[in-house]
Structure 1
């Protein structure tokens, strides 16, 4: 039975520095009635991701900012509970860009059906979704790793970084991960098969990193920027490639100053290219098929940190910037009413 009211999470303020719970507001809304070619979705899982911090600013970017006092939007998994579409029926499991809300009314063009029997549904927000595709295209198209080269990954225990390292291993490279705890270092080496991993929070980080890459760095997949990247750039080889995916170290800083990178890039003839996964939308199907094949073959592993409860969504988002999660960080909102997962 579908209720008449539901909760949404809106952006209350544009944060300055690190966001707080005061920047979010819970709002009760009526559950809307359906029009033709629409579906009513019950949210099962929400993805919280670093890029959302940028959308909280009213600034020009590759994607429009969130609107104040409107629901925040991000990747999600949901169950169809009512349908006025020939494409979907009650009980179908779908993924798409969903409101931070318990229920959503969506056009049938804005979501796609997923098969719960093929893999756990949460993988479509992680290793088989935008996370995996970000790693896949950024590494292979920009990084172009070759057998025997050294690939360094920052934020290596996160959802994207952990996928990058594994794909780099599939391509025959030596992989070094950078993460922020001994637990994460052990996870990278023992669970994911990284050749080496170093803890950037240790005072010996610069020395440890240099020792981990005796032959220098051929590909640097950058998820964090900041002081970590400053140290990696000192170790670049000639013709190094740097896929620039994220800069989480600076997302909550009002001012971020650091060493200049130009001299390192000139001396090494390095290539650095920023990207977003949307650049590769035309090739998502091929990328997804390859990721799924590697997953089924046991060549890819994934880890998830799942926070229980819709009310915990803002807390889960804030945890991204504390570095507490391993792998993909998700919020479980509800269990399905009609489907069996």
Structure 2
């Protein structure tokens, strides 16, 4: 890419089923210039997240669809290159929402300054960003785990799921993860300290959950829905809590599946509640306070899966739904001056 040009990936069409390369278009445009009250950001890292699939549709949802012919939406960590905004200076590192492009213009409302001396700036797209907040509040606010209880989490090696299990351990719970490979099982048990792990691809979910949760399941943080939720419902305890965070198993479905049997929710007087991280923005400081302390104390570990180059974003995004990523998936779009 020419340094005088802006590389962008546009949403060309809405997918039918799983996204393909044909849904995206790679283009080059002139680098935009900031007007009064704006900043020009150079993208260093782009976050790739499952929720983006929901935005690639005109189906009614909690968020407005990504616009066809426009830059694909996404969170970014950037460096301010030019500023005509009183709160930001050239050289600042910021987390924002510039989408799938090398340079973006922001009016500042969605930007938050980052201190590269605290934690790596890429963490703002993961453990100290939206996925970390998702893990923290879905587990603690809806799940309300108590010491001695059993917490199960699906997509347990991912950006949010891995944090859920570690916080469950900090709170004195038994943590059980469901993942898609033996390598991921080894990681969450031996590196992150989960008590048990189930490989959903090679093990029978019902019998494996029964063995891993001998005292039943008190909290299930659900990122997938589908067969895992159905199996979990057979093992829930009286008064169980289920934060419903994601529906990865359904995002690419052309026809929505029939739901699981919800009778156990009635019998066990269990709670299932939908979760959107945007509802917790006013409590961001509370989250940062606790997670920063846990990171500094070594109680939380974090893994990133970094792909290089903006042009690699579509393939990496498609792989997200096959579980190809291992850790928080981000794209390194530009040089990171904070790396030593």
Supply the distance in 1 between the matched residues of 2:247 and 2:74 (Cα, whole angstroms).
Answer: 19
| Equivalent pair of 1:227/1:258 in contact (CA under 8 Å) | no
In the other structure, the counterpart of 1:225 is 225
* Partner Cα distance (1:24, 1:285) in 2: 36
3-state DSSP class of the match of 2:169? Answer: helix
Aligned pairs, number: 339
Write out per-residue CA displacement over residues 112-135 of structure 1, whole angstroms, 9 at most, x where no aligned residue. Answer: 110001111111111011110000
Q: Distance in 1 between matches of 2:55 and 2:289?
A: 30
Question: Could you tell me how far 1:216 is from its partner in structure 2?
Answer: 0.4
Where 1:159 maps in the other structure, the secondary structure is: coil
Aligned position for 2:305: 305
Partner SS for 2:74: strand
TM-score normalised by L of structure 2: 0.97
**1:153 correspondence with 2:148:** no
| Residue in structure 1 matched with residue 36 of structure 2 by the alignment | 36
CA distance in 2 between partners of 1:110 and 1:19 (Å): 28
Residues 35-114 of structure 1 mapped to structure 2, 5 A cutoff: 35-114=35-114
CA distance in 1 between counterparts of 2:280 and 2:314 reads: 29
Any conservation in 1 of the 2:250–2:257 contact (CA below 8 Å)?
A: no
Q: Which runs of 5+ in 2 are unaligned?
A: none
SS in 2 for 1:25: strand
Q: Distance in 1 between matches of 2:257 and 2:89?
A: 53
Distance 1:259 1:278 in 2: 26
Equivalence for 1:192: 192
The question of whether the paired residues in 1 share the 8 Å contact of 2:136 and 2:167 is answered with yes
Q: Distance in 2 between matches of 1:91 and 1:242?
A: 43
- Structure 1: 4+ residue segments shifted above 4 A: none
Q: Match of 1:283?
A: 283
The one-character-per-residue Cα deviations of 1:63-118 (angstroms, maximum 9, x if unpaired) are 11000010111111001111122322221111011121110111133311100011
Residue pair 1:136, 1:164 contacting (<8 A) in 2 also: yes
Alignment RMSD = 1.4
Secondary structure of 1:184's match? Answer: helix
CA apart distance, 1:250: 1.0
Q: Report the secondary structure of 1:98's partner residue.
A: coil
**What pairs up with 1:173-252 in 2 under 5 angstroms?**
173-252=173-252
For the residue of structure 2 that corresponds to 1:313, the secondary structure is helix
TM-score by length of 1: 0.96
In the TM superposition, residue 46 of structure 1 has moved relative to its aligned partner by 0.1
| 1:163 corresponds to 2:159 | no
User: What corresponds to 2:270 in structure 1?
Assistant: 270
Q: Which runs of 5+ in 1 are unaligned?
A: none
Does structure 1 retain, via aligned residues, the 8 Å contact 2:224–2:248? Answer: yes
